[in-house]
C-alpha cells in the first residue's frame, strides 16, 4: 500500500502551507507558516505494511478524550494544546498479511502467554481460530476467550479480567470490532488493578500499565484500536461510560484488511461513517494541531472514496478504507471528537441507534450549527471530499465544491449509501427532543471541543432539523439490524 492518495490529499488540502499554531489560536485555517513536516510525516505513515510506523509519541495530548457518560471530574479543560503531539500505539502495522506478524510482535513485547479476546460472531467467521492457529504454529499457544457481549458491559469486562487472571495471561490479543477491543483494553488494565471497572470511569484512573494489548481489528473504522479509551455500558443503569487514559491504549495494532471482508455490511458501514465523523470533527476541533490536521486531511478522501468497499468493492479498496479509518482514529484519539458525537451519544443511549449511524444522522444539522466558527475549515473539507469523488467529472466536482456546504456534502453521502435521513424513522419521538438536548449537556468534553459553543436552544434546533422525514424519501420505521447498540 502506498501513501499516494494520502499525499495527494494533503496537497489538495493546501497543507503544505498549513497553520502551525493549534486551531483555536490562529485565525481559522490561516496557513501560517507552512507545515514543513507534511511530506515526512506522510512518509512516517507510509503503509506498505506501514513497517513499524509510530509517529513520535512524546506525551499525551491532554484533550484526546471522549467521555461517553456524565462528565467525570478532570475532563473539563478543552482547548488547543501549546505543543502539537500525536500519541499512537508503539507498533502500527497496516496492510494485507499484517496479522501474520502477530507472533513476532508478541515476541518483541516479551509476551509468551496471550489471551485472545473476541466475540462469538468473529469466532463464527473463523477469524479468531485462524489467528490462534497462527500463534500456535509459531510456538505461542493461546487461550481463546470469546464471551464479549454486544454492549461491552462492565460485567463482561470483569469476566474477561477473570479469564486473564485464571490463565495467567501476560498479554491480551483483541480480535474483533470496537466492542471486543474496548472490552480487552479495559480488562487488561483491570487485571493489574483491583476492584470493578466502574471504579475506573473517567480519565487516568489506571495508575499502572496493564497487560500489553495487541489490537487486531476486524471492522474498519471504530478507532478503538488506536484510542486510549474504552466505551463501556453499565449493567446498573444501561448508561455508557468511558475508562480513559494514557495507560489504557493498545501497544500494538495489526490492521489487516483481509480480516474485514466478512464484517456485516451495516456494521462496517456504520463504523466507517463514525470514522469519517472522527476525521471531520478532529479537523474542526478546538484541540486540533497541525499533526492531527495532517491525519484528518488524509483520512477524509480515503474514506469518502472507498466507503462503498464495505459492501462489495475489491480488496484494494478495503485496504485504502482501512488506512483512512486508521488515520481518522489517530486524529480523533489526539484531537478528540466534537458536537456531532455529543448529539449522537443520547440517540444510542436511549434508542440503541448504532453509534456511527447516530452520528451520521445528526452530522449535517450539527455541521450547520457550528458553521459560524469553522467556515473556512468546512470549505477545506468539502474541497478534499469533492476531489475524492471519482464518480463525478472534474467540472462537476469543481462546481460542487464552489456551491456545496459540508453539511450538504455529508447528506449527499448518506443518500449515496442508501441511508434514509430523519430521526423520526428511527424510533425517536418528536416529544423527546428537548430531553435529548438536555442529555447533550452531559457531554462537556466533546461539546466544548466544537468550534462553536452550542447552547441548549441551538442543540434542540439541530435535533429538530435532523428529525423530520424529508419529503420524497420513503416513509415508515427503519428497522435497525439487530436493533442493537
Ligand atoms: N474506544 C473507542 O475509541 C471507540 C470509538 C468508536 C466506537 N467504539 C465502540 O465500538 C463499538 C462498536 O464496534 P464495531 O462497530 O467495530 O463492531 P462490534 O465489535 O460491536 O461488532 C459488531 C458485530 O460484528 C461482528 N463482526 C465484527 N467483525 C466481523 C468480521 N470480520 N466478520 C464477521 N463478523 C464480524 C461481531 O461479531 C458483532 O456481532 C461500540 O461499543 C462503540 O462504542 C469505541
Residue 146 Cβ < 6 Å to ligand 1: no
Q: 42, 66, 16, 31: which is closest to 337 by C-alpha?
A: 66
Q: Give, using CA atoms, the residue closest to atom 21 of ligand 1.
A: 177
Give SS3 for 229: strand
Helix runs in 261-374, H state only: 265-284, 290-306, 315-335, 339-351, 355-369
Q: 294, 293, 284, 274: which is closest to 227 by C-alpha?
A: 274
From CA 73, how far away is CA 53, in angstroms rounded?
Answer: 34
The separation between the first and the last C-alpha atoms of the chain, rounded to the nearest angstrom, is 33
From CA 18, how far away is CA 382, in angstroms rounded?
Answer: 16
Residue-level pLDDT at 396: 55
Residue 122 Cβ < 6 Å to ligand 1: yes
Of ligand 1's atoms, which has the minimum distance to the CA of residue 230?
Answer: 1
Residue 69 Cβ < 6 Å to ligand 1: no
Domain with CATH 1.20.1090.10 in the chain: 7-46+264-311+336-483
Backbone angles phi, psi at 45, to 5 degrees: -100, 10
Identify whether the C-beta of residue 300 lies closer than 8 Å to the C-beta of residue 386.
no
Find the 177 Cα to ligand 1 centroid distance in Å: 3
Q: If one looks up domain 7-46+264-311+336-483 in CATH, what number appears? A: 1.20.1090.10
Residue 260 Cβ < 6 Å to ligand 1: yes
Fold of 92-258: Rossmann fold (3.40.50)
Residue 334 Cβ < 6 Å to ligand 1: no
Q: What is the pLDDT along the chain (485 residues), one digit of tens a residue?
A: 333 444 343 333 333 222 223 333 333 333 222 222 232 233 233 332 333 333 322 222 222 223 333 333 333 345 667 788 888 999 999 999 999 999 999 999 999 999 999 999 999 999 999 999 999 999 999 999 999 999 999 999 999 999 999 999 999 999 999 999 999 999 999 999 999 999 999 888 999 999 999 999 999 988 899 999 899 999 998 888 889 888 889 999 999 999 999 999 999 999 999 999 999 999 999 999 999 999 999 999 999 999 987 776 667 788 899 999 999 999 999 999 999 999 999 999 899 999 999 999 999 999 999 999 999 999 999 999 987 655 555 555 555 555 689 999 999 999 999 999 999 999 999 999 999 999 999 888 899 999 999 999 999 999 999 999 877 766 666 766 544 33
Beta strands of 128-278 (E only): which ranges? Answer: 143-148, 171-176, 202-203, 213-217, 229-233, 240-244, 252-255
Residue-level pLDDT at 401: 53
Residue-level pLDDT at 136: 97
Domain with CATH 3.40.50.1970 in the chain: 92-258
Residue with cell 509517529: 55
Find the 178 Cα to ligand 1 centroid distance in Å: 4
Residue-level pLDDT at 308: 84
Amino acid at each position: 500500500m502506498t501513501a499516494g492518495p494520502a499525499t495527494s490529499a494533503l496537497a489538495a488540502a493546501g497543507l503544505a502551507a498549513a497553520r502551525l499554531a493549534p486551531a483555536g489560536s490562529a485565525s481559522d485555517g490561516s496557513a501560517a507558516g507552512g507545515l514543513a513536516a507534511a511530506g515526512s510525516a506522510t512518509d512516517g505513515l507510509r503503509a506498505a505494511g506501514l513497517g513499524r510506523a509510530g509517529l513520535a509519541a512524546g506525551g499525551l495530548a491532554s484533550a484526546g478524550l471522549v467521555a461517553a457518560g456524565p462528565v467525570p471530574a478532570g475532563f473539563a479543560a478543552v482547548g488547543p494544546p501549546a505543543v502539537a503531539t500525536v500519541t499512537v500505539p508503539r507498533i502500527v502495522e497496516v496492510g494485507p498479511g499484517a496479522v501474520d506478524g502477530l507472533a513476532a510482535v508478541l515476541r518483541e513485547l516479551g509476551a509468551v502467554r496471550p489471551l485472545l479476546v473476541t466475540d462469538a460472531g468473529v469466532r463464527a467467521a473463523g477469524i479468531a481460530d485462524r489467528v490462534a492457529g497462527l500463534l500456535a504454529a509459531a510456538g505461542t499457544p493461546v487461550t481463546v476467550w470469546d464471551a464479549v457481549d454486544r454492549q461491552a458491559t462492565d460485567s463482561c469486562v470483569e469476566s474477561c479480567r477473570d479469564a486473564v487472571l485464571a490463565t495467567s495471561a501476560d498479554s491480551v490479543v483483541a480480535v474483533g470490532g470496537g466492542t471486543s477491543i474496548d472490552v480487552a483494553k479495559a480488562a487488561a488494565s483491570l487485571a493489574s488493578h483491583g476492584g470493578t471497572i466502574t471504579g475506573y470511569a473517567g480519565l487516568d484512573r489506571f495508575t499502572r500499565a496493564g497487560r500489553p494489548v495487541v489490537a487486531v481489528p476486524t471492522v474498519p473504522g471504530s478507532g478503538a484500536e488506536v484510542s486510549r479509551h474504552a466505551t463501556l455500558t453499565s449493567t446498573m443503569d444501561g448508561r455508557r461510560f468511558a475508562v480513559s487514559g494514557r495507560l489504557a491504549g493498545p501497544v500494538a495494532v495489526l490492521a489487516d484488511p483481509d480480516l474485514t471482508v466478512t464484517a456485516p455490511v451495516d456494521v462496517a458501514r456504520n463504523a466507517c461513517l463514525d470514522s469519517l465523523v472522527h476525521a471531520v470533527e478532529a479537523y474542526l476541533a478546538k484541540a486540533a494541531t497541525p499533526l492531527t490536521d495532517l491525519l484528518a486531511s488524509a483520512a477524509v478522501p480515503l474514506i469518502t472514496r472507498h466507503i462503498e468497499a464495505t459492501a462489495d468493492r475489491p480488496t484494494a479498496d478495503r485496504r485504502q478504507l482501512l488506512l483512512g479509518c486508521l488515520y481518522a482514529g489517530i486524529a480523533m484519539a489526539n484531537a478528540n471528537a466534537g458536537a456531532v458525537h455529543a448529539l449522537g451519544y443520547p440517540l444510542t443511549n436511549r434508542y440503541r441507534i448504532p453509534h456511527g449511524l447516530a452520528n451520521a444522522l445528526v452530522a449535517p444539522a450539527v455541521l450547520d450549527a457550528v458553521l459560524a466558527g469553522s467556515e473556512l475549515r468546512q470549505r477545506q473539507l468539502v474541497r478534499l471530499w469533492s476531489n475524492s469523488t471519482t464518480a463525478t467529472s472534474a467540472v462537476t466536482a469543481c462546481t460542487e465544491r464552489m456551491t456545496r456546504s459540508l453539511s450538504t456534502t455529508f447528506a449527499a453521502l448518506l443518500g449515496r449509501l442508501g441511508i434514509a435521513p430523519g430521526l423520526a424513522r428511527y424510533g425517536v419521538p418528536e416529544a423527546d427532543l428537548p430531553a435529548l438536548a438536555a442529555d447533550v449537556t452531559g457531554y462537556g468534553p466533546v461539546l466544548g471541543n466544537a468550534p462553536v459553543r452550542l447552547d441548549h436552544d441551538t442543540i434542540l434546533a439541530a435535533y429538530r432539523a435532523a428529525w423530520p422525514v424529508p419529503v420524497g424519501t420513503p416513509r415508515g420505521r427503519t428497522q435497525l439490524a439487530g436493533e442493537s447498540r
